[in-house]
Amino acid sequence: MSKEQNLYIAVAEVLIDVESELRQQSLWRSSEPGAEALASTQPFCFDTLSLPEWLQFVFLPRMYGMMESGQRLPEACGIAPMAEEYFRGTPLVHGSLIPSLRRLDRLLCGDEGPRAG
């Protein structure tokens, strides 16, 4: 198995964990935001979506789409610091969402797994 295939598998596992944690924390929405909210040009769509909404409706579909079409995954990611700030002072800090996002950041930056070394 190639390094890229191993990376896809590792990233997919983390994405599944992120979705699971969003659901467990009751942060998963059943209805999609409007097209205008999704069309934001701001990082993380911070002007139109909450961070959990951005993860669910922008980030997760984009990452899955990239893997399904065989595209190269981003080599830089910084979602964990944004999540740490967003959830500061909430019980979620003790869940697995932020640790999962940290792992994803490390995988994509090459600090862990197939791109490392």
77-87 pLDDT tens trace: 899 999 999 99
Please state the rounded mean pLDDT for residues 22-41.
93
Measured CA to CA in angstroms, residue 78 lies from 35, 68, 99, 108 at distances of: 25, 22, 13, 9
Mean confidence (pLDDT) of the chain: 89
Residues 105, 59: contact at Cβ < 8 Å? Answer: no
DSSP string, 101-117: HHHHHHHHHTSSGGG--
Whole-number Å distance between alpha carbons of 117 and 100: 21
- Residue 33 DSSP code: P
pLDDT of 18 higher than 90? yes
Residues 73, 8: contact at Cβ < 8 Å? Answer: yes
> Among 92, 111, 108, which Cα is nearest to 7's?
108
Q: What are the chain's domains? A: 3-34+44-115 (1.20.1440.40)
108: burial class by Cβ within 10 Å (0-12, 13-18, 19+)? Answer: buried
Residue 77 is which amino acid? Answer: C
What predicted TM-score, i.e. pTM, was given to this entire model? 0.86
